[in-house]
Structure 1
Amino acid sequence: MIAALYWSMNIPGQVAMREGLEAQVKIINEQAQQTNARGIKLIPRIAGDGAEGIEKQIQQMYEMVALRPDAIVIQPTDNAALAKPLRAANRAKIPVIAYDQYIDDGELAAYISSDNFQAGVMGGEYVAAHFDNQKPIRLILVEYPHVSSTVERVNGFLDALSGNQQKYQILKTYEAVEPISGQRAGERILADFPQKDSVDVVFTVNDGGGLNVVEALAKAGRNEIFVATIDGDPKSVENIRKNRLTRIDSAQFCGPLGAEAIKAAYNVLRDQPTPRYALIPTFPITRETLSLYPGWAGPIPQDFKKPWSSLEPMWRGQSRVVIP
């Protein structure tokens, strides 16, 4: 038995991760049946959004420690809050495999994530390629500082602006990661910056909240704003296609991410080699690269040369092992 602790079913990218994970379980079980090997039985739990979701996942983690499954696969809702239950799992000698986010303290048997820093970098370099670097861009950040992935995305975005000598001024930051908080952030941006041409760029850390930010801005006719975001939600891809505020979306390969997480857990249980920490590449969706993007489910495309100025001109589709 493997416990699968999911974060949200309201964030489409996370739904796609779950779908990828569970599709891989079917593949593993079909192969196991053919060879008389042991398959996987999942024990799924969903935490939910916001502070209530964090508290619920803490209790779910303790529930699983008491149940003593063979392993726990978790998408953490908060980096710090899950540290105590992770240590409880460590004491019970239950291997824990985290995906998408890590947990601050305790020991993970494996950690699989998208290359979130890369995702932010691609957004920042694309913005820098489209603005005069002698004039500071007026920037709004829609962030979520509670999990590692979104923090890394902001760091990558700002580092890329600086690395490309693009001056910027952060006008204000807002917090959003799912639709309700995204709607609130969009409304507050419009209230705080009602005048057209008062904002140059909005960077949202994911499409879960960012899509509703774009929706609010679009309804208000603020088409002059250049939006960079992350995730690869099909609605965001359509916004790029229609030139509707969003200019770049650094997409995760959500299905492969979920699949790699459960493969890592299965390898750990069979004492097979698996990386302790691995990153799956993200893909820069723009009007220029739309035809190359296969969608959340993959497969990961071949390498190509970015059609904009970049300190790293080639996009490469290889996963990266950080800790073997």
Structure 2
Amino acid sequence: MRRGVIASIAAVAAAALLASGCTVETAESPKGDSGTAVSSVVQTDSGGLKRYISPAPLADKIETRGPDGETPVWYSDLKLTPEEVEKVKKGKYRAAIVWHTFSPFMNALAKGVKETYEALGVEVVATTDATMDQPKLANDVQSVLALKPDVIVTIALDPVADVATFKPAVDQGVKLVFASVKPKDFKAGKEYVSLVTYDLKGLGDVTATALGEDLGGKGKIGQIFFDANFFVVNEREKAFEETLKSKYPGIEVVERAPMADPAKVEDIAAAMIARHPDIKAIFAPWDTAAEGVVAALRNAGREDIGVYTIDLGNTNALDMAKGGLVKEMTSTLAVEFGNTLAIAGAYGLLGKQAPPMAVVPAFPVTKDVLKQGWESTFGVTLPSDIAAAGK
């Protein structure tokens, strides 16, 4: 039954989305995306901090809501005055990044956090990788607390179990900022400063719109959904389904296939096209899941079925650049996500009330705008192999 999978499976999705011992790295950051920094996608805000520009206009109203019904603001609404920037610089504060995994997306977030804290004079004393293991995340928090950080930028792996994981930090007065997933019952302004995530409804809406327009508003498609209780995935899948139904009633979802184990997605897609050979497209819930769909289609010789997904990654970007099966990937401002996390943490250091939730926007990435989409997401030039494939 949908949503009936244990929390450990949900943790796998976090790796795809956000994508030994403590592994505290005090000198090095995780490996990031290759490429040269791109200045055209950044601007300086009123406080003198570097911020990323959305390639799509920001809507007047944000439809996404938080796990406790929070109404978010756009990332650009979180900002510091020049005076506040100087006050943070004089504080000689220390920060730690406590991640659940390392991936291109999470590395981009770490890049944003570190660049902003460097500009604010905040020393990042640790970066940890829990390797998707909740007990290890708890151990990482304990190890990092020994370094006496003033602020921790982090993510919960298990919202229930991680109430205990982060309680020692709360008890020590450390300012917590969460990326996408927070402990259950933690309240903004009390146990943590703010929650920063992407526009969940926007991600689903943009993907559905791209698929609907490409199919001319009619045809049969398949959908693979994540069969687990994982808020960020569930919300964007829900938005995809609602937009498709309301805007494109001529498109029929002939099968919604549950995926409890992401390693099985290729088999799921192969079975789907065998049962429904007349489908024109398949939606996969995230980037690496889409890779399995592409593999199944190629093995079946079905070059006529388009693949649509959320999140931006090298393998699917290369396929897209070659004019392959991946037709659209919906992305977001990954480095700016990190910038916003860092600025939210600065709010906590200053004792400034932060919005309970902030989001970075969603935007479509297709072959025609792949270069711009990549640069806006990661802040660096498109990898040379992908750029060459698109020529």
1:101/1:147 contact within 8 Å kept: no
1:100/1:149 contact within 8 Å kept: yes
Q: Which one is further off, 183-192 or 255-264?
A: 183-192
Alignment of 1:113-132 (within 5 A): 113-131=197-215
Change (3 A) 1:48 1:127: same
Q: Which one is further off, 162-171 or 118-127?
A: 162-171
Q: CA deviation at 1:281?
A: 0.5
Task: Confirm whether residue 102 of structure 1 aligns to residue 187 of structure 2.
Answer: no
Q: Report the counterpart of residue 302 of structure 1 in structure 2.
A: none
CA distance in 2, matches of 1:192, 1:227: 13
Q: Report the counterpart of residue 314 of structure 1 in structure 2.
A: none
Q: CA deviation at 1:99?
A: 1.2
Q: Which one is further off, 276-285 or 228-237?
A: 228-237
CA distance in 1, matches of 2:302, 2:225: 16
Task: Confirm whether residue 150 of structure 1 aligns to residue 233 of structure 2.
Answer: yes
Task: Confirm whether residue 278 of structure 1 aligns to residue 362 of structure 2.
Answer: no
Q: CA deviation at 1:256?
A: 1.0
Q: CA deviation at 1:292?
A: 4.2
Task: Confirm whether residue 139 of structure 1 aligns to residue 238 of structure 2.
Answer: no
Q: SS at the partner of 2:128?
A: strand
Change (3 A) 1:165 1:207: closer
2:347/2:354 contact within 8 Å kept: yes
Change (3 A) 1:159 1:298: farther
Alignment of 1:182-261 (within 5 A): 183-191=263-271, 193-194=273-274, 197=277, 199-261=279-341
Structure 2 unaligned blocks of 5 or more: 1-93, 381-391
Q: Report the counterpart of residue 34 of structure 1 in structure 2.
A: none
One-letter amino acid of the structure 2 residue matched with residue 173 of structure 1: P
Q: Report the counterpart of residue 13 of structure 1 in structure 2.
A: 105
TM-score, normalization: structure 1?
Answer: 0.75
1:20/1:297 contact within 8 Å kept: no
2:293/2:307 contact within 8 Å kept: no
Describe the superposition over 1:244-267 as per-residue Cα deviations: whole angstroms up to 9, x where unpaired.
211111112111111211221123
Change (3 A) 1:88 1:106: farther
Q: SS at the partner of 1:44?
A: strand
Q: CA deviation at 1:79?
A: 3.5
CA distance in 1, matches of 2:346, 2:125: 12
Q: Report the counterpart of residue 253 of structure 2 in structure 1.
A: 168
Change (3 A) 1:163 1:26: same
CA distance in 2, matches of 1:4, 1:220: 43
Q: Which one is further off, 207-216 or 224-233?
A: 207-216
Structure 1 unaligned blocks of 5 or more: 30-38, 300-324
CA distance in 2, matches of 1:115, 1:123: 12
Q: CA deviation at 1:43?
A: 1.9
One-letter amino acid of the structure 1 residue matched with residue 149 of structure 2: P
One-letter amino acid of the structure 1 residue matched with residue 285 of structure 2: V
Q: SS at the partner of 2:310?
A: strand
1:90/1:106 contact within 8 Å kept: no
Q: SS at the partner of 1:149?
A: helix
CA distance in 2, matches of 1:244, 1:196: 21
Task: Confirm whether residue 81 of structure 1 aligns to residue 164 of structure 2.
Answer: no
Change (3 A) 1:275 1:292: same
Q: SS at the partner of 1:279?
A: strand
Q: Which one is further off, 273-282 or 81-90?
A: 81-90
Q: SS at the partner of 2:223?
A: strand
Q: CA deviation at 1:192?
A: 5.5
Q: SS at the partner of 1:185?
A: helix
The higher relative CO (CA closer than 8 Å, separation ≥ 6) is in 2
Change (3 A) 1:4 1:20: same
Q: Report the counterpart of residue 24 of structure 1 in structure 2.
A: 116
Q: CA deviation at 1:64?
A: 4.3
Describe the superposition over 1:37-86 as per-residue Cα deviations: whole angstroms up to 9, x where unpaired.
xx32332210113xxx2332233235445765322210233434323323
Q: SS at the partner of 1:296?
A: helix
One-letter amino acid of the structure 1 residue matched with residue 114 of structure 2: E
Change (3 A) 1:198 1:63: farther
2:138/2:166 contact within 8 Å kept: no
Q: Percent identity?
A: 18
Task: Confirm whether residue 45 of structure 1 aligns to residue 128 of structure 2.
Answer: yes
Matched positions, count? 280
1:47/1:57 contact within 8 Å kept: yes
CA distance in 2, matches of 1:20, 1:209: 26
Q: Report the counterpart of residue 11 of structure 2 in structure 1.
A: none
Change (3 A) 1:155 1:171: closer
Describe the superposition over 1:222-242 as per-residue Cα deviations: whole angstroms up to 9, x where unpaired.
322221111122432332232
